[in-house]
Structure 1
Amino acid sequence: MDETSPPPSPAGPKPRSPRTPKGLRAVARAAGVSTATVSRAINRPEVVSEELRTRIAAVIEHLGWVPDGAARALVTRRSGTVGAVFPTLIQGDFARAANALQRELLGEGHTLLMACSDYDPELEFRQVRIFAERGVDGLILVGGTHHPDLVRLLERLALPVVNTFVFDPANPGRTVGPDNRRALFDLTSYLIGLGHRRFGVIAQSTRNNDRAAERLAGIRDALGAHGLATRPAHHAEGLSGIAEARALFRRIMAAEPRPTAILCGNAYLAVGAELEALAMGLAVPGDLSIVGYDDIEIMSELPVPITTVRVAGDEIGRRAARCLLARILGRPDADGHECPAEIVVRASSGPPPA
């Protein structure tokens, strides 16, 4: 050996990364197929038979090979990622939708990137811009109203977008969710049918929340159809806290004559209203009916289970994923995109006191 030559490494030759093209060739040899077939099974699985996909997947698992995402993106011109911005993940509907969305996307080989905007349009815009810079293949947003700069950005990038928890019959391919106005119109009409004429409303704040605004419009439409309206002193808006709802409920009930039914804009507002009603010694529904929107577990476990509008958040997540993937992959989209809300009648609603 030449004196100037470096000594051999005591650890031996450096192992090859499983992400190299030689890893691809090893998979092809073990599976008894060509490297092109392995590449197709990874990048375009729909053109490879199920038997071949299963065999290649088993070999990849056995060898522990990880396909190079950057290389795959160059071939497919897709990153395999989807960005989603939800206002919050505290509320039941959004959390259920996010879980279903992730499961559906993962089943199609896509990764979900998540962010929360806290109902702030500027923050939502910044998060979407970051997702776009990361090269996401598409976006899941909530609601149909967004920051003007966000709308212009999406138009410029031509990114596939699905707006969830709203439904626009004029644009079904971009919206997946319930008709919020119809849901509260029907719930209010149900209470009117029980005989109620004096209503209180603890609404979710409509600031930067078009779904809450639509629900409030549904209440007003139903009342107006019967020549009714809420008194200003019987209307209050909050965010989503139980403690806040208790304070708002007490304020509404201080105004005479008291309402005989309270409509609440979300689950936490309804829970707070009932807890405060019981603390004040009111009988629910003997003295007062209380109803809500959304259906979280505690609503059916309270001393008086709460009547509410149930929105199928998990179904919205699944349909949104399928709708977005159809647009990303150029597939036909046969799914219906309206997810009707359901009124779940429980013990908290009944006829008004005599």
Structure 2
Amino acid sequence: MNDAELIATPEARPRSGAKDVAQLAGVSTATVSRALNTPDQVDPVTRERVLQAVAKLRYMPHGAARSLRSQRSKMIGAVVPSFDYALYARTTSALQQRLDQRGYALVLAEHHYDLASELRVAGQLTQHGVDAFVFVGLDHHAGLFSLLEDYGRPYVLTWGVDPLGRHPSIGFDNEAATREITRHLIGLGHRRFGLLSAPVEGNDRARARGAGVRAALAEAGLALDEACAQYAPIALQSAAEAMSRMLALPDPPTAVVATNDVFAVGAMVACRNAGLRIPEDISITGVDNTDLGATQTPGLTSIRTPIVEIGDAAAAQLIARLEGRPHENFQSFPIEVVHRGSTAPPRR
């Protein structure tokens, strides 16, 4: 499909019922209902078996869902990993503002990096008439795209660009972001590095940013000591604790690449608590160029990412597709290193 090709609404297909799902999953119809409506009441193994059957059969509860194909609610669903991460709030705010200008409403949901939960939530929102979807990242349950295709729901992936061109996506090169900032630190003379990151399972952004650090080091004939790679939830306290573990190593790094500004500021807190000076004793960098990092003393060297632009462009693409107008399926925004006072050559 080229950039300007319009999305056609698929013809109705024969529908599977709850009995079919139950038979394929080897459970009762009551268990199917609980797995979809009250998942906490079903053990994870059984719930995943039901979700796989739902995806394979493309099952949607209630016969009324079939009629949703030809109706427009003017509701757009945005399913994000977590409301706790402030950047997603900024992106969805930009998304909502553009949608509101065209008379669309935004419906929000979160999945806490649980891709099976994301699939279930998307199905529920489709059932309730949501016209189109915005998702974060490139990692998703295999059944998600089948569900969206079956019900003719346009969608766009954000915060990354599909390298294979399979799914409409808007974002930037996450690997290039940390590769560039790692090259900056190598140029200053650093040779022993640390990495602070979110867990990589179900999180392609974290995985790509870690890969960028390793790629830059490999270019320079260096390697990341995996003892200096620490993973934690995205929060200041957990970031500080992860940095403290790194500082306790027999040979701690002289430079730390954090995969976002929250991790970087948490690392700065831990370094101050340990009596280390930034950047005299250790250099620290972030990603996303947030006010949180910019207002530190010293200011955090970071990567400017298109936080607002992603939300605005995602809304513009979905509106164009829903209204039958030309659109770009893929948009990749530039990134930029913002130099501040948190980096310097290592002590000799």
TM-score class, shorter-chain normalisation, is 0.7 to 0.9
Letter in 1 for 2:174: N
The aligned counterpart of 1:80 is 74
- Equivalent position SS for 1:317: helix
* Equivalences for residues 1-354 of structure 1 within 5 A: 77-171=71-165, 174-333=168-327, 337-354=331-348
Contact 2:168 2:329 in 1 (8 A): no
Render the CA deviation track for 1:198-251: whole Å, top value 9, x for unaligned: 101111111210111011111111111111111122111111121111121121
Q: How much does 1:173 deviate?
A: 6.9
Task: Give the Cα–Cα distance (whole angstroms) in 2 for the partners of residues 256 and 79 of structure 1.
Answer: 60
Task: Give the Cα–Cα distance (whole angstroms) in 1 for the partners of residues 222 and 234 of structure 2.
Answer: 26
Equivalent pairs counted in the alignment come to 282
Residues 204 and 339 of structure 1: is their aligned pair in 2 closer, same or farther, counting only changes over 3 Å?
Answer: same
Contact 1:189 1:222 in 2 (8 A): yes
Q: How much does 1:305 deviate?
A: 1.3
Task: Give the Cα–Cα distance (whole angstroms) in 2 for the partners of residues 209 and 336 of structure 1.
Answer: 20
Task: Give the Cα–Cα distance (whole angstroms) in 1 for the partners of residues 109 and 304 of structure 2.
Answer: 24
Q: How much does 1:342 deviate?
A: 2.0
Q: How much does 1:140 deviate?
A: 0.4
- Equivalent position SS for 1:293: coil
Render the CA deviation track for 1:284-335: whole Å, top value 9, x for unaligned: 1111000112233221222221111221211100001111111111111158
User: Quick one: higher RCO (CA 8 Å, sep 6+), 1 or 2?
Assistant: 2
Residues 221 and 310 of structure 1: is their aligned pair in 2 closer, same or farther, counting only changes over 3 Å?
Answer: same
Task: Give the Cα–Cα distance (whole angstroms) in 1 for the partners of residues 329 and 155 of structure 2.
Answer: 16
Contact 1:203 1:236 in 2 (8 A): yes
Q: How much does 1:336 deviate?
A: 6.5
Contact 1:173 1:337 in 2 (8 A): no
Residues 102 and 273 of structure 1: is their aligned pair in 2 closer, same or farther, counting only changes over 3 Å?
Answer: same
Q: How much does 1:172 deviate?
A: 8.4
Letter in 2 for 1:133: Q
Task: Give the Cα–Cα distance (whole angstroms) in 2 for the partners of residues 310 and 93 of structure 1.
Answer: 12
- Equivalent position SS for 2:99: helix
Letter in 1 for 2:258: C
The aligned counterpart of 1:47 is none
Letter in 2 for 1:274: M
Task: Give the Cα–Cα distance (whole angstroms) in 1 for the partners of residues 143 and 164 of structure 2.
Answer: 23
Task: Give the Cα–Cα distance (whole angstroms) in 1 for the partners of residues 332 and 226 of structure 2.
Answer: 33
Larger radius of gyration: 1
Q: How much does 1:87 deviate?
A: 0.8
- Equivalent position SS for 2:157: strand
Task: Give the Cα–Cα distance (whole angstroms) in 2 for the partners of residues 321 and 137 of structure 1.
Answer: 12
Q: How much does 1:197 deviate?
A: 0.8
Task: Give the Cα–Cα distance (whole angstroms) in 2 for the partners of residues 319 and 335 of structure 1.
Answer: 10
Q: How much does 1:100 deviate?
A: 0.5
Residues 97 and 81 of structure 1: is their aligned pair in 2 closer, same or farther, counting only changes over 3 Å?
Answer: same
RMSD of Structure 2 on Structure 1 (CA): 2.0
Contact 1:319 1:335 in 2 (8 A): no
Contact 2:286 2:302 in 1 (8 A): yes
Q: How much does 1:257 deviate?
A: 2.3
The aligned counterpart of 1:6 is none
Unaligned runs of 5+ in 2: 1-66
* TM-score, normalised with respect to structure 1: 0.76
Task: Give the Cα–Cα distance (whole angstroms) in 1 for the partners of residues 100 and 212 of structure 2.
Answer: 37
Letter in 1 for 2:76: V
- Equivalent position SS for 1:216: helix
Answer with 85-94 or 126-135: which moved more: 85-94
- Equivalent position SS for 2:172: coil
Task: Give the Cα–Cα distance (whole angstroms) in 2 for the partners of residues 144 and 174 of structure 1.
Answer: 10
Letter in 2 for 1:189: R
* TM-score, normalised with respect to structure 2: 0.77
The aligned counterpart of 2:31 is none
- Equivalent position SS for 2:286: strand
- Equivalent position SS for 2:109: strand
